Amino acid sequence: RRRGPPAIGDFPTIPPRLTGHKTRYMYLSQMRPVPPGRPVCFVGICKIDLEAEDEASGMTGEILYPEGLEGGEAFFVPTDKPSKGEETVEDEGYLVTFLSSAHGESKMVVYDARTMATHPVASVSLPVRVPAGFHGLHINEKQLATQR
């Protein structure tokens, strides 16, 4: 049986190593409902358990951005130091996104994908505004070295 997510969102993301494989969790950039014709507003990130018994228990985590800030697409960055032996747990990693204010301020924030704690692990103020709709991708140092 297929069911919809328990939140309104877009830009679903999963750990890149699991692309094309069955996953338990996905993350959505969460939207606030807006009237037709109004621009979309991303207000947070939610974690969806695709193996949940019902829709009510499907959203296992939610991060809402501070008032006055809007986000964009969050992308999953896997940890390079697994906590359980040599195998990385599916939701072990970080969610990275950009937040912007109506006053032109932007910052990059990093959240813990496993705990979905509302306080970011890291936050970096940026010297210029990041436009709405900016997409990201993470590659590690080893992957970067193979690029020409």
Q: pLDDT class for 1, splitting at 50, 70, 90?
A: very low
Contacts of 99 (CB under 8 A, 6+ apart): 65, 66, 69, 70, 71, 106, 107, 108, 109
Average confidence (pLDDT) over 72-99: 81
Residue 19 has pLDDT above 80, yes or no: yes
- Which bin fits 127, alpha (ψ -120 to 50), beta or left (φ > 0)? alpha
Distance CA 80, CA 51 (A): 26
pLDDT band at 97 (very low <50, low <70, confident <90, very high): very high
Give the SS3 label for residue 145.
helix
Quote the CA–CA distance of 30 and 51 in Å, as a whole number: 20
Confidence (pTM): 0.82
Cα-to-chain-centroid distance, residue 148: 29
Q: What is the dihedral of CA 120, 62, 47, 88, to 10 degrees?
A: 30
Residue among 21, 34, 44 at smallest CA distance from 109: 44
Tell me the pLDDT of the chain averaged across its residues: 83
- Within 98-145, residue ranges assigned H as helices are 141-145
Q: How confident is the model at residue 63 (pLDDT cuts 50, 70, 90)?
A: very high
**pLDDT score of 7 more than 60:** yes
Place of tokens 């924030």: 109
